[in-house]
Copies of this chain bind each other. A is one copy, B any other.
Amino acid sequence: MITGKNLIGNELSTKDGTVFTTFDPQLNKENAWEFTEASLKEIHASVELAEKASREYALIDGTKKARFLREIATQIENLGDELIAIYCKESGLPEGRAKGERGRTCFQLQTFADLVAEGSWVNATIDTALPERLPVPKPDLRKMLVPIGPIAVFGASNFPLAYSTAGGDTASALAAGCPVIVKSHPMHAATGELVAHAIAKAAELTGMPNGVFSNLNSKGIEVGQELVKHPGVKGVGFTGSVKGGRALLDLAGQRPEPIPVFAEMGSVNPVIFLPEALKQRGDFWAKTYAGSITLGTGQFCTNPGLLFGLAGDVLSAFANKLSEEISAIQPGCMLHPNIKRNYDSNTSTMLSQSGIEVVAKSQNAVPANYAQHTLVMVQGKDFLSNPRLHQEVFGPFSMVVACKNIDELEAIITNLEGQLTGAIIAENSEIKEYGNLIEILKNRVGRLIYNGAPTGVEVCPAMQHGGPYPASTDSRFGAVGIHAIQRWVRPVSYQNWPEDLLPEALNDSNPLKISRLVNGSLTNKPL
């Protein structure tokens, strides 16, 4: 049952807040549930409870944290069909996607559970003493990662499960030992509430301190701002627009004590089609990319929005084939009328730019909140001189850029903003000629893809989901995979610390049997 209330640790809470509803874009009407906007008092209560929980939670061992994370996955699975139905009613996404995303969410939780149960992630580093060293003795030093404290998480509109309430940010922060306060996404507040209750139940069942998790409803921006400004909050995870992410980054930077903000924001995900590839397999790539551009109604952060090639007949033929393929795909529903409105308005702005030629855009009527796929084409020189064309259009929109030569293409890539991904479509016979181009592309992205599409972000240690600004606020980190835990921790050194007071990870006997850097060598042996 959806209560519409805020969850402050174990307690459901409503003060006199304004209420809001979510929207079913398929039925084109508001959902029935009413959610109460979190009050200032509730925001402060959630942070204060998190601060208190933080001290206890930081000391809970990896085995117990793993049990908690696995129990969250179990409780999410236990939500069964209700979760799937509500997810669909708040996103317009199909059931298959909902189930897939639930699977991904639980897999992420299990992955972090494995990581903290194993324990080596704390990067234990030990340098033993040299008491006889001259001119001064060398002390015994032992270092490990410890949690930084309560984290505020802002969920994504386009991933109601995997990058929201119990998504990558929450899972990695809880794994690190940091309590989490979620600012629930207003487009899927009911989905968020169900998942929040699953987390709270898991926390209770596994004996976690009250306040290790809270969930705050909010449709406006004030709740998020208050959270980020609160001195008890020590870090922020965000997935969303450049505007939203930058606002939080600026706010966090203006605090008396600045805190890190990890925002995964915009990306247009450039794809470079080399000439031989289009000549040999243009039709195959047209079909592949038509699928990628329209997948999830183009609402993925890795949606390929810029397609580069060398101007000429081969590229024109490819664009026409791509247009055919895209037009053959049924239009899809967008997440929310606001998102559809932005898509239409951004598309119009693009179409009004000088030099833009429409390749595909159906004029057929579509149901409310459904998006017309749009493919446009522009010459390299027009693209280079108009930064507006470099911006993301969130939705099933893509732009073919016809470059007059490789120099122009290199100049364009050099001048692109930071991106999550960059793809190269090539035949093996030609790729070696483009070493410089690849280096330039690498400089702008977090992930390079060879002969594939950027959509489909594998969850594994070698994935980098993040890139130079504005793809993310800090390209040195990412939100997907085990290394995401590194965002929420800091190293602490113990100097000449008594063996019986050291954390287990740093004990001589290595009771956790973890991998440690001891006097410069990686080992899982005792000292």
A binding-site residues for B, Cβ under 8 Å: 55, 59, 100, 125-127, 135-136, 138-139, 141-143, 146, 148, 249-250, 253, 257-258, 260, 418, 428, 431-432, 438-439, 442-443, 445-452, 456, 458, 460-464, 466, 468-470, 473-476, 478, 483, 486-487, 489-498, 501, 515, 517, 520, 522
Contact = CB atoms under 8 A, between A and B. Distances in A.
A490 B475 contact: yes
B143 A495 contact: no
Given A125-B462, A249-B253, A483-B491, A260 B496 contact: no
Nearest to A522: B515
A464 B473 CA distance: 25
A461 B140 CA distance: 11
B464 A493 contact: yes
A498 B142 contact: no
Given A469-B257, A497-B448, A460 B490 contact: no
Given A462-B141, A501-B431, A136 B456 contact: yes
B522 A447 contact: no
Best-buried of A258, A491, A497 by chain B (most CB within 10 Å): A491
Contacts of A418: 257
18 contacts: A127-B461, A127-B462, A138-B460, A139-B458, A141-B462, A142-B462, A258-B473, A447-B495, A448-B493, A448-B494, A449-B495, A450-B498, A452-B495, A466-B491, A468-B490, A476-B489, A476-B490, A515-B522
Given A463-B493, A464-B491, A466-B491, 9 more contacts: A125-B483, A127-B460, A428-B498, A446-B492, A447-B495, A450-B501, A464-B492, A475-B490, A476-B486
Given A139-B452, A449-B495, A55 B439 contact: yes
Best-buried of A100, A428, A460 by chain B (most CB within 10 Å): A460
Contacts of A139: 452, 456, 458
Given A450-B497, A458-B141, A501-B431, A492 B127 contact: no
A247 to B, nearest CB: 12
A449 B495 CA distance: 5
Contacts of A146: 442
Contacts of A466: 491
A446 to B, nearest CB: 6
A139 B460 CA distance: 10
Kindly list the 9 A-B residue pairs having the minimum CB-CB distance in the complex, ordered from nearest: A141-B462, A464-B493, A253-B253, A447-B493, A127-B460, A127-B462, A143-B462, A475-B490, A449-B495
Contacts of A469: 257-258
Nearest to A96: B135
A289 B125 CA distance: 28
Contacts of A428: 498
Contacts of A250: 253
A126 B442 contact: no
A492 B449 contact: no
